[in-house]
């Protein structure tokens, strides 16, 4: 990198970026180790580290207790140099989480809502969850470098919800605009299933998988795609929305469970769990209801599998907690529909998948700023207030 063309200022920026990327996600490194990883000379590394420490991006790690002699100095990336905020805005709850730049959760907040909660009250619940997070973490708004929110419904690339069936007045809400009133321009909004898929690929069962189909199995189904290691949004943000096709039958497949004979007197949000439990015990009516649900799920899933030819399918959402009942019937339903049957795994992230995926998306945005700004290390605020 030292021999690359360009002016001296740009060369220094590239050297600094190379050093930051070597340090991020790595144990503390000595100058010699950092020089080997970046290909820079010892003199250049000395200069770069001094500059990054002055900006607040890097700090020296004290020697381990009991080390004899004069140990080599070690340095680490300051993951607490800034923070991101992730949001999961669902039908029944709003989750918020603040993470450092390595994605470690610093604080979280939750507020309850309902399907009939009016738009302004739901937005107020979002604000309360954010306020609880900020108060718990003692992180000022100025230190939140990016915000990402996942929400039910189809979301366009401007952060506006365009289509939604499970919340009566949520379509048309400018969620990005609402959040920018507090956080400025560094706000991203996406469909919740898409962010759950991103979380699986970064932190879950699909870690480092390049091509992935994510299925959200629940009363409100959904799907998302990871293509060549990246979250695929599509031209308008509506990729993966096969469930909107009536022929796929996803909009009504939960009714197979909710209308199962012997369970119709229970609250709708509890019936599925009871049916899965009965199916686990071998109840014929429950097994039939689960089979019908899975048959419909497989139609849309097969369409996505045939389109992408993924390495892996991850089954997430609320119903994935009963994966022991769903997984084998889903494999059996998919096999005659697919040219090649991919591996299917159950999500292990639970209800945190969307908020963790939102944090991952926000960190990606911070990374893009680091890589693309004219002076990338000044594009974001540092702990010393540099902008």
Provide DSSP, 336-368.
GG-SS--EEEE-SSGGGHHHHHHHHHHHHHHHH
Architecture of domain 206-348: 2-Layer Sandwich (3.30)
Distance CA 271, CA 285 (A): 13
The CATH fold of domain 8-77: Arc Repressor Mutant, subunit A (1.10.10)
Concatenated DSSP letters for 173-236?
-BHHHHHHHHHTT-EEEEEHHHHHHHHHHHHSTTTT-SSEEEEE-SSS-EEEEEETTEE---SS
* CA distances to 104, 121, 178 from 126, in Å: 21, 9, 10
Q: Render each residue's pLDDT in the chain as its tens digit; 387 residues.
A: 444 445 777 788 888 888 988 898 789 999 999 999 999 998 999 999 998 898 888 999 987 665 666 778 899 999 888 999 999 999 999 999 999 998 999 999 999 999 899 999 999 999 999 999 999 999 999 999 999 999 999 999 999 999 998 898 999 999 999 999 999 888 999 999 999 999 999 999 999 899 999 999 988 899 999 999 999 999 998 999 999 899 999 999 999 999 999 888 888 888 999 999 999 999 999 999 999 999 999 999 999 999 999 999 999 999 999 999 999 999 999 999 999 999 999 999 988 999 999 999 999 988 777 655 555 444 454 333 322
What's CA 379's distance to the chain center, in Å? 23
Instruction: Please state the domain extents for the chain.
Output: 8-77, 81-197+352-378, 206-348
pTM, full prediction? 0.86
Taking residue 124's Cβ as centre, other Cβ atoms within 10 Å add up to: 15
Q: Is the dihedral angle over the CA atoms 365, 366, 367, 371 positive or is it negative? A: positive
Question: Encoding tokens for residue 184?
Answer: 């400025």
Distance CA 6, CA 3 (A): 9
Same fold, 8-77 and 81-197+352-378: no
CATH of domain 81-197+352-378: 3.30.420.40
The conformation of residue 71, written as its DSSP 8-state character, comes to: P
Question: Encoding tokens for residue 50?
Answer: 């001094």
The predicted structure's pLDDT at residue 15: 87
């Amino acid at each position: 990198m030292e021999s690359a063309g360009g002016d001296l200022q740009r060369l220094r920026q590239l050297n600094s970026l190379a050093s930051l990327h070597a340090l991020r996600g790595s144990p503390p490194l000595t100058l010699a180790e950092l020089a080997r990883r970046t290909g820079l000379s010892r003199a250049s590394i000395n200069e770069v580290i001094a500059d990054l420490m002055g900006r607040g991006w890097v700090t020296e790690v004290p020697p381990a207790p009991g080390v004899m002699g004069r140990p080599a100095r070690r340095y680490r990336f300051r993951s607490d140099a800034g923070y991101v905020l992730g949001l999961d805005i669902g039908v029944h709850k709003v989750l918020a989480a603040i993470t450092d730049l390595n994605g470690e959760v610093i604080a979280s907040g939750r507020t309850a809502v309902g399907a009939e909660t009016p738009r302004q009250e739901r937005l107020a619940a979002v604000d309360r969850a954010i306020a609880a997070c900020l108060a718990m973490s003692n992180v000022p708004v100025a230190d939140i470098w990016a915000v990402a929110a996942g929400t039910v419904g189809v979301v366009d690339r401007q952060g506006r919800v365009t289509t939604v069936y499970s919340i009566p007045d949520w379509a048309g809400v400018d969620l990005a605009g609402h959040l920018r009133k507090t956080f400025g321009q560094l706000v991203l909004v996406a469909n919740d299933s898409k962010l759950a898929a991103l979380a699986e690929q970064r932190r879950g069962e699909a870690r480092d998988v390049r091509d992935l189909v994510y299925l959200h199995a629940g009363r409100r189904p959904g799907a998302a795609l990871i293509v060549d290691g990246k979250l695929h949004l599509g031209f308008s943000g509506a990729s993966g929305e096969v469930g909107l096709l009536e022929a796929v039958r996803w909009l009504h497949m939960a009714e197979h469970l909710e209308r199962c004979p012997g369970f119709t007197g229970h609250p709708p949000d509890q019936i599925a769990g009871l049916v899965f439990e009965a199916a686990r015990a071998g109840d014929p009516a429950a097994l039939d209801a689960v089979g019908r649900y899975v048959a419909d799920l497989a139609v849309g899933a097969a369409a996505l599998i045939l389109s992408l030819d993924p390495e892996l399918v991850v089954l997430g959402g609320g119903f994935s907690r009963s994966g022991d009942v769903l997984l084998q019937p889903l494999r059996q339903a998919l096999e005659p529909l697919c040219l090649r049957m991919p591996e299917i795994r159950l999500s292990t992230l639970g209800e945190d998948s969307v908020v963790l995926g939102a944090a991952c998306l926000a960190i990606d945005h911070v990374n893009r700023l680091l890589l693309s700004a004219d002076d990338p290390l000044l594009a974001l605020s540092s702990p010393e207030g540099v902008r």
